[in-house]
Structure 1
Amino acid sequence: MLYDRIGVGYAHGRRTDPRWLAPIVAALGDARTVLDVGAGTGSYEPLDRTVVAVEPSAEMIRQRPPGAAPVLRAVAEALPVRSGAVDAVLALLTVHHWPDWRLGLAELRRVAPLRVVLAYDTRRHADFWLVREYVPEIARLELSRPSAEQIAEELGADEVVPLPVPWDFADGVFPAHWRRPRAYLDERVRRSCSALAQAPPAAVERGMARLRADLDSGRWEREHADLLAAPEWDAGFRLLVSRR
């Protein structure tokens, strides 16, 4: 199981940011029962409705906080609930990890009339400065994953809502530190990003040594001066809402 291997310490860097929580909860509308598929540590599970989580990784389940929603240990491609069992299903930054993502989306459609999925444009991640300039090996992984546009089409999304990343974002998703490059020098931060955790260790070490040198010399700031004044950045994250 991938996250049993790379998920140790995941909860350290992946915290709920209210600027993403609000649109996610809004997309659920008046749904009272929610299945959170690929739930991980439950960062964006709403507290004001009945939630059941689905998560295959024992390591991720272990890191769920006290009082979190109950968990079914299962995979998205075979959800252990009956058809139409819940009002809505969440799948937040998880579809790109599913071995058969199309089958997983079919399961989302089977179990709920409302589907809320958070995905991202893999091309934008592959062109993120950290990838392009420091760890280019990540690009191949990113481009092999289903992108938000593909997922939206397969899901039959009615709405596609961009979720920009604020410069001080609390949730350590891969491009979260786009304006805080020194954060990537912290091994705990890198462990919270699946793209970095899955990259060849030698490539990551080489890239971090180059990044450290560029930060110490001021080169990074000179090359990316446009980012330093930006309050947020569009990293390609898209909230997909499907009601069909």
Structure 2
Amino acid sequence: MTGSADRGLHDDPYRTIGIGYARHRRPDARIARQIVRALGNAESVLNVGAGAGSYEPRGRRVTAVEPSSVMIAQRPPGAAPVVRARAESLPFPDRSFDAAMAILTVHHWRDAPAGLAEMRRVSGRQIVLTWDPAISARFWLVREYLPEITAAESRLASLDVVRTEFERQGARVDVVPVPVPADCTDGFLAAYWRRPASYLDPGVRAAVSALAKLDRDRVGRAMERLSADLSSGRWHERHADLLGTGTLDAGYRLVTAG
């Protein structure tokens, strides 16, 4: 890697927002099954932006890439070997892996198109879990309490960037919804859609980058309103249709290319 890339590794936003990832961001088995199906018969897999190791498939030769020392420290014993590097400069020869995966990470990359091009370069198939902003903006937490999330995430790489970049590189691209179970164990933004009181927990919010990066006072006021709506029953009145639902389409999408 170049010297500038090495210096960039020390610019680690997860020093503050990644502390509780291993506790609150446990992989959900149903989402994991979708990822495994998308990997097909790939035997060697590169996990780019691997974090604490969620969704790394068992029974395959997995190599992880992660720039954050905070996240690397949370990888469990027996996890795949990890290389400290960035997506935009993967230290592997062309076609080193059958597949490369990137799970809810592309929006954190400094240069998403460059990172996606690197995934294409080093692998025969690419799997990316991202989201469709047009759908995620309708999620009740965003729409009713924190619409600032929509504005903030409009500047991040999500579905359109991923699909456009892969298609620009000549890949055949498939996009499928990833429904969020009501008891989802992976605490990303919409994971608690039927457990609204969970958002009142500062530890839960700290493990969701979309919440952790917002103004703390603004989030605090929103949580006060949510708490009041839960206590009065207003939230349950507005969202009675959700209470008997097992999954929600909150906009998460699994993209397969190649």
Check conservation: 1:137, 1:203, Cα contact below 8 A: no
Check conservation: 1:33, 1:86, Cα contact below 8 A: yes
- Name the amino acid aligned to 1:113: G
Aligned to 1:158: 173
Aligned to 2:6: none
Please give the alpha-carbon distance, in whole angstroms, between the structure 2 residues aligned to 1:23 and 1:220.
31
Q: Show CA shifts across 1:76-114 (max 9, x none).
A: 000111111111101111111111101111101100011
Please give the alpha-carbon distance, in whole angstroms, between the structure 1 residues aligned to 2:164 and 2:119.
14
SS of residue paired to 2:40: coil
Check conservation: 2:132, 2:158, Cα contact below 8 A: yes
Indicate whether 1:186 and 2:189 are aligned.
no
Indicate whether 1:240 and 2:251 are aligned.
no
Indicate whether 1:230 and 2:245 are aligned.
yes
Please give the alpha-carbon distance, in whole angstroms, between the structure 1 residues aligned to 2:19 and 2:136.
23
Aligned to 1:110: 121
Indicate whether 1:96 and 2:96 are aligned.
no
Please give the alpha-carbon distance, in whole angstroms, between the structure 1 residues aligned to 2:227 and 2:68.
33
SS of residue paired to 2:245: coil
Q: For 2:150, which of 119, 139, 142 is the aligned residue?
A: 139
Q: For 2:218, which of 203, 206, 221 is the aligned residue?
A: 203
Q: For 2:34, which of 23, 28, 44 is the aligned residue?
A: 23
In structure 2, stretches of 5+ residues that fail to align are: 1-11
Offset of residue 149 of structure 1: 3.0
- Name the amino acid aligned to 2:105: T
Check conservation: 1:12, 1:188, Cα contact below 8 A: no
> 1:69-80 residue pairs with structure 2 within 5 A?
69-80=80-91
Q: For 1:61, which of 49, 53, 72 is the aligned residue?
A: 72
Check conservation: 2:106, 2:158, Cα contact below 8 A: no
SS of residue paired to 1:43: coil
Indicate whether 1:212 and 2:227 are aligned.
yes
Indicate whether 1:173 and 2:188 are aligned.
yes
Q: Show CA shifts across 1:15-67 (max 9, x none).
A: 11110111111111111111100001111000110101000110000001111
Question: Scaled by the length of structure 2, what TM-score is found?
Answer: 0.91
Offset of residue 142 of structure 1: 1.4
- Name the amino acid aligned to 2:247: E
In structure 1, stretches of 5+ residues that fail to align are: none
Aligned to 1:7: 18
Check conservation: 1:127, 1:139, Cα contact below 8 A: no
After superposing the two structures, state which structure 1 stretch, 43-52 or 126-135, moved more: 126-135
Check conservation: 1:122, 1:146, Cα contact below 8 A: no
- Name the amino acid aligned to 1:76: A
Q: Show CA shifts across 1:145-169 (max 9, x none).
A: 1221331121135321211001111
Coordinate RMSD, CA, aligned: 1.1
Offset of residue 219 of structure 1: 0.5
Check conservation: 1:126, 1:142, Cα contact below 8 A: no
Aligned to 1:85: 96
- Name the amino acid aligned to 1:71: V
Report the identity percentage: 53
Offset of residue 170 of structure 1: 1.0
